[in-house]
């Protein structure tokens, strides 16, 4: 395999320049080194543009005001931090059930949402819940009783645990993004 310096030497006119001359060779080596560094830096910048790459994670967190206030002081793995950045940057609009299900999915949670409606004459039967008052604005988030986040190669930092458990990040993010008049209930396990 040829080096970048060798490729630069091949670009020289063969009769006019001797690519092996000491001064010209040193200049070509220096230019090849500079081009290599510029290429490496360009690759780093390109990776930092995409939050799911994990590059520039602290900058993304600073711009998006992460960690969320309700998660300050709670240890998060690099993978969970990347998921938080991706979900917050993608979660800019929407207040429908599919939006919240997709938002939770981007954070690594599989959920369903149950909404409640008031009992209506002619439709409700004896024994059905009445669901009056605030129940019109209540959503129940149905999630597994234990949500485990496993370490993944390329998305886990040194010192991160191999597995973490908990749903606090889900409750925090959905609580921030919910419609103002809504009340969220979280149901874990078989509902």
99-109 pLDDT per residue, tens:
889 888 888 88
Distance set, CA 83 to CA 16, 22, 109, 144 (Å): 57, 52, 11, 18
Residues 100-146: tens digit of each pLDDT:
898 888 888 889 999 887 777 778 788 777 777 788 888 999 988 77
Q: Which residue has the tokens 């010192």?
A: 159
**Residue 165, beta-bridge partner list:** 148
Q: Which residues of the chain have pLDDT under 70?
A: 1, 91-93, 147-148, 150-152, 154-156, 161, 163, 165-166, 191
Alpha-carbon span 85 to 82, nearest angstrom? 5
């Amino acid at each position: 395999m040829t080096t970048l310096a060798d490729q630069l030497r091949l670009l020289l006119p063969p009769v006019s320049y001797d690519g092996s001359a000491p001064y010209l060779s040193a200049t070509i080596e220096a230019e090849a080194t500079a081009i290599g560094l510029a290429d490496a830096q360009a690759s780093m910048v390109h990776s930092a543009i995409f939050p799911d790459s994990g590059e520039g994670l602290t900058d993304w967190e600073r711009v998006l005001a992460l960690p969320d206030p309700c998660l300050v002081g709670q240890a998060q793995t690099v993978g969970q931090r990347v998921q938080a950045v991706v979900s917050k940057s993608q979660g800019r609009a929407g207040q429908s059930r599919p939006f919240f299900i997709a938002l939770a999915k981007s954070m690594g949670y599989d959920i369903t949402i149950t909404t409640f409606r008031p009992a209506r004459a002619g439709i409700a039967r004896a024994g059905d819940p009445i669901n009056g008052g605030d129940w019109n604005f209540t959503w129940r988030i149905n999630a597994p009783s234990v949500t485990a986040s496993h370490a993944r190669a390329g998305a886990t930092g040194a010192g991160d645990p191999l597995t973490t458990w908990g749903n606090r990040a889900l409750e925090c993010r959905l609580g921030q993004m919910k419609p103002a008049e809504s009340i969220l209930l979280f149901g874990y396990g078989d509902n």
